[in-house]
Amino acid sequence: MRYSKSFIKTSHQAPKDAETASHRLLARGGFIYPLGAGFYSLLPMGFRVYQKIYDIITEELNRIGVEDMIMPVVHPARVWKETKRFFEVGPELWKIKNRFKEDFVLAMTHEEVITDAAKPIISSYKDLPKLVGHIQTKVRDEARARGGLLRTKEFTMQDAYSFDRDEEALDKSYQKFIKAYNNIFERVGIETIMIESDVGAMGGLGANEFMMIAKNGEDKIVVCKKCWHAVNADVLGISRESNAIRKGTKCPKCRSTNLTFKRGIEVGNIFKLGTKYSIPQKLFYTDERNKEHPVIMGSYGIGLERLLASVVEASHDKDGIIWPTSIAPYRVYLLGIDKKSAADKTYQQLTKAGVEVFYDDRDATAGEKFADADLLGIPYRATVSAKTKGKIELKKRGSKQVKLVTTSELARRIK
């Protein structure tokens, strides 16, 4: 892609309300555009990162047997009334009416919708287990949308669902997802810990969250220094505002009182739903003796935009983003100094070799081009100038080392 043709405008100025590094850098780099508080467009540069995250998630879930589908964003309220969540969930559940004054709900999650869809499919023990999921828009009327992409009112979520005959089988499905989630987070380049969490509005038998440790994270985690078991502070009855662990609070696993606080960003959560949805929505199966039982369910979710922003929180410096290669929008940022024709030629050669290249062909100073290369965080910077005598100056983002290479070496090195 040529910079001059791209739908991008970078800026030295961060939005006034930007409190987090990811908000500042994604806005300055032209990855996102705020339509209003909590509503963002992903501009082309941001959408490329999003698509790479999308592919990694899909690949890892397909590997454990999750089959892809898609469910609607607008839900007739019937299913939400069956589980009573229509009445029980707070104002974050966005309710609308149609022209006939009938109730509808904007998808906050899809448990009710998937359970409804499973009814004609699952009726016997022979129909179990099943794993299914989708990546779809979610809408939540958050009281305080903040932090750029970290907390928005509309976002995309991968959510998957498991259907099993008993709790033992659910445990097996649950373990598969834990493995897949760990792979996903590792591949996008962040370190997470899995912690015990509150079941919250989802209900059920138990829940875990995947937390990325971050000093400005909004979640509080209590870690036991003896056995390293970690729990969400909510589980121990510690409020979000509190800065101290009450005297006498014990680790729920080993009963040690040697506990410490950490802050984190929640990047994924998984729930053992049990029969919370199957009973009210009447999703039953018959066993070998023709006896009827409710299906045991699990649900699993990762917010894509939040994950994207979390990677930026974890990987940046004062000049800009440092994308992990696996999800970088492009592989190389090419720029020419006083040698436009040579840079043009290199661009064509790299494109032909199948390298994802963002070519800064603007009529701008070297300083401006270098600044944008750092801000956008593309893993490699390639500079063509009269000084380099037919060779290309290659530099890795975040490193000071510069190497002189030929075009074919370049294509090989950065692939």
**Site map (CB under 5 A) of Zn ion, residues 254-273, x = contact:** x-x-----------------
Distance between CA 162 and CA 169 in Å, rounded?
Answer: 10
Please say which residue, 200 or 252, places its beta carbon nearer to Zn ion: 252
Binding Zn ion by CB under 5 A: which of 78, 119, 229, 391? 229
Q: What are phi and psi of 97, to 5 degrees?
A: -125, 150
**Nearest distance in Å: CB 259, Zn ion:** 8
Name the segment binding Zn ion (CB under 5 A); options: 5-13, 158-166, 218-226, 235-243.
218-226
Q: In angstroms, give the least distance from the CB of 258 to Zn ion.
A: 8
Q: Does 224 bind Zn ion (CB under 5 A)?
A: yes
Q: 11 or 258: whose CB is closer to Zn ion?
A: 258
In terms of CB distance, is 209 or 361 closer to Zn ion?
209
Q: Report the alpha-carbon distance of residue 172 to residue 231 in Å, rounded.
A: 22
**Which of positions 232-251 make contact with Zn ion (CB under 5 A)?**
251
Question: At 39, which helix (H) or strand (E)?
Answer: strand 39-42
Tokens of 308: 């994207």
Q: Which two tokens stand for residue 233?
A: 């502070």
Residues 85-114 that bind Zn ion (CB under 5 A): none
Q: Report the relative pairing of strands 219-224 and 259-274 from DSSP bridges.
A: antiparallel
Which residue, 259 or 382, is less far from Zn ion as judged by CB?
259
Residue 279 binding Zn ion, by CB under 5 A? no
Closest approach of Cβ 255 to Zn ion, in Å? 7
Smallest gap from residue 211 Cβ to Zn ion (A): 17
C-alpha 415/C-alpha 411 separation (Å) is 6
Query: Structure tokens of 20?
Result: 């987090």
- Provide DSSP, 368-415: HHHHHHHHHT-SEEEEEEGGGTT-EEEEETT---EEEE-HHHHHHHH-
Question: Of 136 and 249, which CB lies nearer to Zn ion in the complex structure?
Answer: 249
Residue number with CB closer to Zn ion (121 or 254): 254
3-class DSSP string for 167-235: HHHHHHHHHHHHHHHHHHHHHHCCCEEEEEECCHHHCCCEEEEEEEECCCCCEEEEEECCCCCEEEHHH
CA distance 231 to 209: 9
Q: What residues have CB less than 8 Å from 228, skipping those under 6 apart?
A: none
* Phi and psi, residue 304, nearest 5°: -70, -45
Instruction: Say whether residue 221 binds Zn ion (CB under 5 A).
Output: no
Stretch that binds Zn ion, among 228-236, 287-295, 369-377, 400-408 (CB under 5 A): 228-236
The nearer residue to Zn ion, 32 or 224, going by C-beta atoms, is 224
381 with 332: CB under 8 angstroms? yes
253 in contact with Zn ion (CB under 5 A): yes
Minimum separation from the CB atom of position 265 to Zn ion (A): 23
* Nearer to Zn ion among residue 117 and residue 236 (C-beta): 236
Contact with Zn ion (CB under 5 A) among 227, 279, 386, 404: 227
Q: Is 230 or 309 the residue whose CB approaches Zn ion more closely?
A: 230
Nearer to Zn ion, 257 or 408 (CB): 257
Nearest distance from C-beta of residue 168 to Zn ion, angstroms: 26
What stretches of 6-161 show up as alpha helix (H) in DSSP? Answer: 21-28, 44-63, 78-82, 85-88, 111-118
Q: How far is 170 from 163, CA to CA, in rounded Å? A: 7
Q: Which stretch binds Zn ion (CB under 5 A): 61-69, 82-90, 133-141, 226-234?
A: 226-234
Size of the site for Zn ion (CB under 5 A): 8
What is the smallest separation between the CB atom of 249 and Zn ion, expressed in angstroms?
Answer: 11
Least gap, CB of 210 to Zn ion (angstroms): 19
Name the one range near Zn ion by CB under 5 A: 253-261, 282-290, 310-318, 392-400. Answer: 253-261
Question: For residues 346 and 353, what is the distance between their CA atoms, to the nearest angstrom?
Answer: 10
Paired residues of 333 in beta bridges: 358, 381
Using N-to-C axis directions, what is the helix angle for 44-63 and 304-314, rounded to 10°? 110
Minimum separation from the CB atom of position 222 to Zn ion (A): 10
53 lies in the binding site for Zn ion (CB under 5 A): no
Give the binding site for Zn ion (CB under 5 A): 224, 226-227, 229, 251, 253-254, 256
